[in-house]
Chain A
């Protein structure tokens, strides 16, 4: 196979490599694949009709709608914020830059339940702004706005974290070149900045979307669990499960499972593009001789 060339000294012994690979694969199977299979097995345990009826049930559809709504609001805001933060941090040096970078990570550091409670504290009936807002006919906690707020908070860092490093790496020269060539602000953004960061941006959107749809803790605190009104898919799953309706719970959970699979596939595709985009940035190609002889003419 290797025609007598010995490569054994270049890496670990074959046995060690197999052992390590086996352990890793076993972990993946045990903790990721088996649960996923279990979700679908349980979802279809009473046949396809039962599965279908669990999903088209009005409360389940309402939960699906709310989940999609929260994501549809949170993700675009996230993109807006992520681009603004990426632009600020990547293109300018300013006081408080490091602080901004640290604060962006805050939603990762804080338990989602705590962040939910903060919104209750701020906008709840006994909260700081809650009474005033309720007096003016605007309810945040135990209503849709609270769920959207909590979703925005927990999915906040994803786009920014993906976009900032690539904007920093690319720098400002291309934008300056575009400006000197006569491009206006919007042309500059659409033709130069955006194409350079589009894969990183998309990657951030996928991650933010997955988090927004799957979030449980923060949303659970502010939701109030009103069926058909303030339940998102994850909350709906919990309610069904607590009612010993395991088959319906898993049927709804399988929707989230499908989302996870789609996200993973998209992520894998986009990841290769992001790496490709980063690779083309450095390393000039070898100097091509030949123009020299042309120029001598």
Chain B
């Protein structure tokens, strides 16, 4: 196991940032901590790095208990959202820093340092920038220098705090793909924090979705998308339609929508909600079995998918998405009455 955290809790004054969080990251794996701001993901990362101390719980790095070890002795690479480059040093000296501050016994000699820094700068494709100051670099370049600096100390694990958060969309995409390739090459156990679900799903081997200081679900990108474990996970990973209602006697009744729900065979009703993604609807002009009809209010036809906004007969708004061909075949306009049938419904029963 590359990183193992057990039962971590952390409180900042009145605010409970982490509640009994446990997580395992296999050696060589790339894991994303995904969640909204305030969900505790950055706190978790900082505790793994040793930059914050947990109130309870332990951190185990490569099989060794590092809970009481100082950040400087943990051999982790940390990449900050705002790069945190040493502004008074050249790019070269930034990358060399971790080698230069080593105790004399383990410090490489000057020639060795030069060689290794040059290698790392080539790895991040910035060897031609070695003599520049960080202030002369673009955001994407700075972040790659920060990465080279973190890798210079040959860390056991690499931790990245919103590594692309401060970059514009295009550079972010480039850097994301580049980081994925880099990880495939060097196979360093890595954890990165992000609030961008697309980034997490595209980049990570596994995703831990966090909310209010707990991990709501942990699994492969496919797991969290296809088999969301909690209402929060399904809501956080993209737009979703919610139908409130109840389950009783093996059926779920959500306004006009009724589905089989054998899990709850008890005749005693329980409050529940049904969730359907916009692309999981069939939309037609003629009546279908579901009994769910709505009036088309708005069409957003930009992009590969056409988004429809419908005012449901049950009083709620429905978001549906169609492929462009499907939409063209349908030939509808605002004001039309449409029948909507969910192909897939996920039901979550509320805790009593």
Contacts and interface: CB of A to CB of B under 8 A. Distances in A.
Given A196-B87, A287-B138, A288-B141, A187 B101 contact: yes
A292 B174 contact: yes
B72 to A, nearest CB: 5
A174 B150 CA distance: 13
B314 interface: no
B77 A178 contact: no
A187 B102 CA distance: 10
Interface in A151-208: 173-174, 176-184, 187, 191-192, 195-196
A180 B78 contact: yes
A87 B146 CA distance: 25
Interface stretch (A39-47, A233-241, A277-285): A277-285
Interface string B83-127: 011111100000001100110000000000000000000000110
B51 A178 contact: no
B226 to A, nearest CB: 32
Contacts of B150: 180-181
B87 A181 contact: no
A177 B97 CA distance: 10
A295 B153 contact: no
Contact of A196 (B70, B71, B76, B88): B88
B307 interface: no
Nearest to A287: B138
A182 B102 contact: yes
Interface string A213-246: 0000000000000000000000000000000000
B86 A286 contact: no
A285 B139 CA distance: 7
B178 interface: yes
Interface in B244-282: none
A291 B85 CA distance: 20
A285 B138 contact: yes
Nearest to A288: B138
A176 B51 contact: yes
A180 B125 contact: no
Interface stretch (B22-30, B57-65, B129-137, B217-225): B129-137
Interface residues of B, number: 43
Contacts of A6: none
Nearest to A173: B84
B138 A177 contact: no
B325 interface: no
A206 B325 CA distance: 75
Interface in B43-72: 49-51, 70-72
B168 interface: yes
Contact of B72 (A179, A288, A292): A179
Given A182-B98, A288-B138, A294-B125, A281 B71 contact: no
A136 B126 CA distance: 68
* Size bin of chain A's contact surface: 20 to 34
A181 B149 contact: yes
Interface string B8-51: 00000000000000000000000000000000000000000111
B178 A295 contact: yes
A297 to B, nearest CB: 9
A280 B178 CA distance: 28
Nearest to B89: A195
B2 interface: no
B195 interface: no
A200 to B, nearest CB: 13
B206 interface: no
Given A174-B86, A287-B139, A291-B140, A181 B50 contact: no
B97 A178 contact: yes
A196 B87 CA distance: 8
Nearest to B181: A295
B332 interface: no
Contacts of A184: 72, 101
Given A180-B78, A295-B178, A287 B140 contact: yes
Nearest to A179: B71
Interface in B200-233: none
A291 B101 contact: no
Contacts of B171: 287
Contacts of A291: 125-126, 140-141
B153 A181 contact: yes
A179 B51 contact: yes
Nearest to B106: A182
Nearest to B177: A295
A155 to B, nearest CB: 28
A294 to B, nearest CB: 5
Interface of A: 173-174, 176-184, 187, 191-192, 195-196, 280-281, 284-288, 291-292, 294-295
Which 5 residue pairs across A and B have the least CB separation, nearest first? A181-B98, A173-B84, A287-B138, A177-B84, A280-B135
17 contacts: A173-B80, A174-B85, A176-B78, A177-B84, A177-B146, A178-B97, A178-B101, A180-B49, A180-B150, A181-B98, A181-B149, A181-B152, A284-B138, A284-B142, A286-B138, A291-B125, A291-B126
